[in-house]
Chain A
Amino acid sequence: MLALVVDDSRAMRSIIKNIIKTEGFTFVEAGHGLEALAVLETGEVPDLALVDWNMPEMNGLEFVQAVRANERFNTMKILMVTTETEFEYMSRALEAGANEYLMKPFDRAALRGKLEMIGLIAPTEIQDNE
């Protein structure tokens, strides 16, 4: 499976990549919305986009709106991954067509859980960590 990681923080992109790599994803990445659209133009349609909100050039919400206006990307699931924690932001993202919403900071279990919710990975049972 292919994931598009969109975030203006290189550190955040590697955190995300490290987690989803172990879930069997390969990835392409971009530092903001416009760059992400360019990546999408040239390559195959990813199964998943993980999208930050606050970025230069084009923010995450604008990116989601642009992507959802294009039928070619219908199958691509979108997970917002952002420091914005207000309900208003969540509903705007979901209304624009994001499939789920994850607040930063997050841990591996949280990201995994979101990928389960949007049907990209099979649920696994959480073991008590002893």
Chain B
Amino acid sequence: MPLSAPDYQFLKNLVYKDSAIVLGDDHAYLLEARLGPLAQLEGVADVTALVRVLQKAADPALRRRVVETMTTNETSFFRDIQPFEVLKNTILPELVKKRATERSLRIWSGAASTGQEACSLAMTLLEHQRDVALGWDVQILGTDLSSRVVERAKSGLYSQLEVNRGLPAPMLMKHFTRSGVQWQTSSAVQRLVQYRVMNLAAAWPLMPQFDIIFLRNVLIYFDMDTRRAIFTRLRNCLRKDGVLFIGGAESIREADDAFECVRAGSTHYYRHKTQPTAGIG
């Protein structure tokens, strides 16, 4: 049975409430395509039947599976390469100088999916700031709404298809080991990264002050109010001289309201608006 308009609305509301992800009215096909297989897994006939189950009794675990199924987890190593180039060439060398006495760096990948972004940040450090990566107190935190992708990220295991995408062969050889038909991140990478489930649209846990935040390809799923609320909170957990990257294809007005945009080659990043030209944050 095709999904009725009220049932679509029910699911749309549910997904919005639990994740802030906005499903457009043209997303019905996407919803059916993704939830159809979940319905089968749950042993019900179709998505309509799944809606009935959800309406009959509170089932937080099922609800969570529904929401997680509706996330798009597309990612790859060194996605949109430029941000990593800018980090390597300008941001990291400057930051490392400024933090020379503290000897600590906090980095956040705020919609980490299966961890390729966090691992790419770790590899960038290991390749270009080796002493920092090995000798300083460095933490790269990867968080995501979906516990399924967080568990995968924690495993540090990647398929051949995944390591084929965006990862130069010398880096594969240096930072991974073979594990059957998969590849496992090296202990050096694993020591730098940590993963946790976190919903950007719910109350945030106490966050450290970050030097670098990557929040890429996730804001596009949110409405203006959610974005604004997120940027307000980002301001509070980004250090005075820290930097924020959002997705290159995301032109987000709420970001420009909250932060100052810095162009760097063909990419851009954000920092706090009133920033002294020099000095330690």
A-B contacts, 15 listed (Cβ < 8 Å): A85-B160, A87-B173, A90-B172, A90-B173, A94-B170, A103-B164, A110-B161, A110-B164, A110-B165, A113-B76, A113-B166, A123-B80, A127-B249, A128-B217, A129-B74
Q: Is B184 an interface residue (CB 8 A)?
A: no
Is B169 a contact partner of A94 (Cβ separation < 8 A)? Answer: yes
Cβ contacts A78-106/B at 8 Å (1 or 0 each): 00000001110011001000001111011
Q: Given the complex of chains A and B, what is the CA–CA distance between A101 and B164 in angstroms?
A: 9
Q: Is B72 an interface residue (CB 8 A)?
A: yes
Is A91 a contact partner of B164 (Cβ separation < 8 A)? Answer: no
Known: A85-B160, A110-B164, A123-B81. A130 touches B170 (CB 8 A): no
Is B168 a contact partner of A128 (Cβ separation < 8 A)? Answer: no
Q: Is B39 an interface residue (CB 8 A)?
A: no
Is B80 a contact partner of A125 (Cβ separation < 8 A)? Answer: yes
Known: A101-B169, A109-B76, A123-B81. A128 touches B164 (CB 8 A): no
Question: Could you tell me the distance in whole angstroms from the C-beta of A16 to the nearest C-beta in chain B?
Answer: 14
The number of A-B residue pairs with CB atoms under 8 Å apart is 57
**Ranked 7 nearest A-B pairs via Cβ:** A110-B164, A101-B169, A128-B74, A110-B165, A125-B80, A128-B72, A125-B248
Q: Is B30 an interface residue (CB 8 A)?
A: yes
Q: In the complex, which residues of chain A have a beta carbon less than 8 angstroms from the beta carbon of B166?
A: 113
Q: Is A57 an interface residue (CB 8 A)?
A: no
Q: Is A117 an interface residue (CB 8 A)?
A: yes
Known: A102-B164, A125-B249. A90 touches B169 (CB 8 A): yes
From 255 to 281 in chain B, residues with beta carbon under 8 angstroms from any chain A beta carbon are none
Question: Could you tell me the distance in whole angstroms from the C-beta of A99 to the nearest C-beta in chain B?
Answer: 9
Q: Given the complex of chains A and B, what is the CA–CA distance between A48 and B161 in angstroms?
A: 23
Question: Could you tell me the distance in whole angstroms from the C-beta of B111 to the nearest C-beta in chain A?
Answer: 11
Is B80 a contact partner of A87 (Cβ separation < 8 A)? Answer: no
Q: Is B220 an interface residue (CB 8 A)?
A: yes
Is B173 a contact partner of A91 (Cβ separation < 8 A)? Answer: yes
Q: Given the complex of chains A and B, what is the CA–CA distance between A125 and B27 in angstroms?
A: 23
Closest to A91 in B: B173
Q: In the complex, which residues of chain B have a beta carbon less than 8 angstroms from the beta carbon of A109?
A: 76, 165
Cβ contacts B216-258/A at 8 Å (1 or 0 each): 0100100000000000000000000000000111000000000
